[in-house]
Amino acid sequence: MAIRPYRLHFAARLLSWTGSAVAPIGLAFAVLKIGGGPGALGAVLAASVVPQILLLLVGGVVADRLPRHRVMVWSNIVCAAAEAAAVLLLLSGTAQVWHLVAMSAVCGAAGAFFTPAAGGIVVEVVPAELRHAANALLKIGQNTVKVAGPALGGVLVAVVGPGWALGWDALTFAASALLFSRISLRAKNVKVRTGFTADLREGWDDFRSRRWLWVMVCQAAVIVPVWLVGYQLLGPVYGQRVLGGAAPWGVVVSGFTAGLVAGAALALMWKPRRVGFVVCAGTGSMAVPLGAMAAAVPLPVLALATALAGSGLAVSMTVWASLVQERIPADRLGRTLSYSTLGQILPVPFGYLLAGPASQVFGLRTTLAVGALIIAAAAVVPLAIAQVRGLCLAPLVVKEGDGPAVPARAER
């Protein structure tokens, strides 16, 4: 936190996360309020992912060529404008489902540029020996503001309507853009002899040459869409039908974010070397809440299940971010992250669009149970590969003299 660019980055992300904590509940119940059902909500959520699929590789090249903080500024400004327009429509009573689909698509397009830039900026502003702690602090900040956020979002939706939740998110996007603009980074030295296609090819070669990376991305390509369908799409529907509305579902989401805080705090104190086992165990824990909903457990038990999943996910995400930052060259990190993210989200729109019909045909609880089984199975498959089992964070090697500690050389 003594490093000014990191401090500004941390403050901007923290502010934006205070809006993002309530936005999902506001968006879900905005769709339900204007007459949409699971299918309409699936279309809105899918609309945020499709532009990311189309533009992520472009965003990765841009993040490696331009100052990453500038990319983040404009991404936030675009999201703030799109959400502000949707808020005006909701508050005026003229919003339709397609309006929210359009807003979601614009924010998804902006996210395609923001994600690779945000994933690489820590490498630029924090020395190697502090990056694991920097990643853990970001997770702690992100998850701390979300503990009360979902419950507050549920109350806002119940008392004043979903438009106000989205309005707060738009305001925080704008304010965080202002903070990002104050970060000062050196301009990138772009090699003029290479073009856009050459940059993409270089990023792809770097991605596919790392077996551990693309195997874990394939795992995420299964787990991420199943989790998002079960928790983000069918979860609010479960909350409305089984739990009784937005407020109790907000309690469940708060349980998840409380687990995220605990897991991030654990990651700050614990730097595990066996990354492959930790990541697989953490992602596998996301099967627990879906199974709990399928079993229709009481609300406190469901909240505890989501807390367990949140803890496992936070630890796995923190150590994974540190591993990727350690092993991927900084000048290729944006492109590599864009390929990685693209692989994870490519199946998501299909999951969103199929989840509604599947829950109507097979039933809500049966669909959730199948999702839990898929996540549990996908979590353990990569451990059959020796390179994944052997994934480790390199120990720090202290230089002689006054030089800082640096990670030991790691295998690809």
- What DSSP assignment string belongs to 236-293? HHHIIIII-SHHHHHHHHHHHHHHHHHHHHHHHH---SBHHHHHHHHHHTTHHHHHHH
What are 396's strand-pairing partners? 407
Confidence (pLDDT) at 403: 44
SS3 state at 400: coil
User: How much is the average pLDDT of 127-145?
Assistant: 81
Q: Are 26 and 161 in contact (CB under 8 A)?
A: no
User: How much is the average pLDDT of 68-83?
Assistant: 91
Q: How confident is the model at residue 74 (pLDDT cuts 50, 70, 90)?
A: very high
Percent of the chain with pLDDT over 90: 15
What average pLDDT does the chain have? Answer: 82
> In this predicted structure, which of 4-8, 11-15, 320-324, 406-410 has the lowest mean pLDDT?
406-410
Q: How many CB atoms lie within 10 A of CB 28?
A: 27
Q: Residue 311: is its pLDDT beyond 70?
A: yes
Confidence (pLDDT) at 76: 92
Confidence (pLDDT) at 267: 84
Confidence (pLDDT) at 189: 47
Q: Residue 301: is its pLDDT beyond 70?
A: yes
The number of C-alpha atoms within 13 Å of 369 and in the hemisphere containing its C-beta is 9
Higher-confidence residue of 203 and 146: namely 203
Kindly write down the DSSP assignment for every residue of 338-373, as one continuous string.
HHHHHHHHTTHHHHHHHHHHHHHHH-HHHHHHHHHH
pLDDT digits (tens, 9 = 90+) for 182-215: 887 665 544 444 677 887 888 788 888 888 888 8
> In this predicted structure, which of 107-116, 251-260, 348-357 has the lowest mean pLDDT?
348-357
Q: Residue 36: is its pLDDT beyond 60?
A: yes
Classify the phi-psi angles of 398: left when phi > 0, otherwise alpha if psi is within -120 to 50, otherwise beta.
Answer: beta
Higher-confidence residue of 55 and 250: namely 55
Confidence (pLDDT) at 306: 92
Q: What is the DSSP letter of 405?
A: P
